[in-house]
Structure 1
Amino acid sequence: MARKLSRIEAENKGRRAEKIAAWWLRLHGWQILTMRAKTPKGEVDIIARRGKSVIFVEVKARDNEQALGTAIGEYQLKRVAAAAQFLIPKYAKNAENIQIDVIWVAPWRLPHHIKNIWHY
């Protein structure tokens, strides 16, 4: 049985996963606009732009691929969507395509980018 991570260890694991996800996005032509955008409605891990598209990305890190499938639910996606609504005027006012994506990160695996997981 895996031991429970301390708050600091979990925070560091999350930050590492976000850096990996940002690297993955850059490799696929995305420009990172900001990371860890906090709003009164919640937080968005990464906001990125490619052309006239802007994505609001939730990053989830788990120790294995099986755990990734249950890493995010509707409640979390609603919070990301609410935060994105708050951030659109600043980061996506001229965007033609705005979407919410999830990137799953697991050890020894390439990141898994799920595009347009939430629809307004």
Structure 2
Amino acid sequence: MNVRSARGAAARLAGRKGEIWAAIWLMARGYRILGFRLKTPQAEIDLLAKRGPILAVVEVKRRASLGAALEAVGHDQRQRLRRAGVTLAARRPSLAGASVRLDLMALAPGKLPRHIPDAWKGE
């Protein structure tokens, strides 16, 4: 295995571990996890979670700071993720009437996870 593919494999493993940690964090706060790494025509959703009437499309980012995690999700990606969440909600009868929201789970070395509901309000 060359250096580039080894880095890629390590990054994928770190990403999966981060998503599992984020899911545990959300479940401890009353969310039900509906899916991991859901591939849709619009985007791949890291975590799909539900609590009450809210369907949260959760983007998980591991960065050195919260600001860096927020900036790591560009405008186009946010729009694709929102459309993916709306499409999934429309296709699943159990999610009819759910309010779709785009959340961020920011992970930073040595810090507790930070869940930011509706991280990009007003966009």
* Contact residue 101 and residue 116 of structure 1 kept, 8 A: yes
Number of the residue aligned with 1:93 = 96
- The percentage of aligned residue pairs carrying the same residue is 36
Q: How many residues align?
A: 116
Question: Any unmatched runs of 5+ in structure 1?
Answer: none
Within 5 Å, give how 1:1-120 maps onto structure 2: 6-62=7-63, 64-65=64-65, 67-89=68-90, 90=92, 92-95=95-98, 97-118=99-120
User: Structure 2 counterpart of 1:15, which letter?
Assistant: R
* Contact residue 82 and residue 101 of structure 2 kept, 8 A: no
* Contact residue 86 and residue 100 of structure 2 kept, 8 A: no
Question: How far apart are 1:26 and its partner, in Å?
Answer: 0.6
Larger helix proportion of the pair: 2
The superposition leaves residues 23-67 of structure 1 with CA deviations (integer Å, 9 ceiling, x where unpaired) of 1101111011111111111111111111222111111112x2264
Larger strand proportion of the pair: 1
| Distance in 1 (alpha carbons) for counterparts of 2:100 and 2:77 | 18
TM-score, with length taken from structure 2: 0.81
Question: How far apart are 1:82 and its partner, in Å?
Answer: 2.3
| Distance in 2 (alpha carbons) for counterparts of 1:82 and 1:51 | 20
Question: How far apart are 1:69 and its partner, in Å?
Answer: 4.5
TM-score, with length taken from structure 1: 0.83
CA RMSD of aligned residues (A): 2.2
User: Structure 2 counterpart of 1:12, which letter?
Assistant: L
Question: How far apart are 1:100 and its partner, in Å?
Answer: 1.0
Please state whether the residue corresponding to 1:6 is helix, strand or coil.
Answer: helix
User: Structure 2 counterpart of 1:11, which letter?
Assistant: R
User: Structure 1 counterpart of 2:53, which letter?
Assistant: K
